[in-house]
Amino acid sequence: MVAADLAGAGLTLATAEKVTLGGVAESAASVATGFLTGTPVSAAVAAREDARALEAAVTEAMTDRLGSGPVTARMSATVYAARHQAWLSRAGGNGHRTEGGDAADGQPCPGADA
């Protein structure tokens, strides 16, 4: 599905890598706040007349379950790298830069000066 979405934007999937890191929150309350305000569920919560009461109930339930101190958890994401198809054709179809950061046709590669 990601490759199809990228293709629709004129991009080709180059790599996909799962990255896992340790996360730390100062408390279960901050985890609840992050979940309720920083995810797609925030729109559903905000639309409710009892949003404040719901936020308080979720915070209380998470604190009961996770405790009052810092909360640690593993977090993971998939990191995708993509290349623009026009760049691939300029680079001889393989997307690799030649010596000096130029594509196979001698034109500068996007991002070569970065």
Yes or no: say if 109 and 102 are a contact pair by the CB < 8 Å rule: yes
Global pTM reads 0.55
Rounded CA gap, 82 and 61, in Å? 41
Question: Which residues on adjacent β-strands are paired with residue 21?
Answer: 75
Indicate the SS3 state at residue 31.
helix
| Percent of all residues in the chain with a pLDDT value above 90, rounded to a whole number | 62
Chain segment 58-111, per-residue pLDDT in tens:
999 999 999 999 999 999 999 999 998 765 555 555 555 544 444 444 445 555
The confidence score (pLDDT) of residue 90 equals 59
Rounded-to-10 torsion of CA 43, 47, 49, 52: 20
Rounded CA gap, 98 and 107, in Å? 10
Rounded CA gap, 91 and 14, in Å? 14
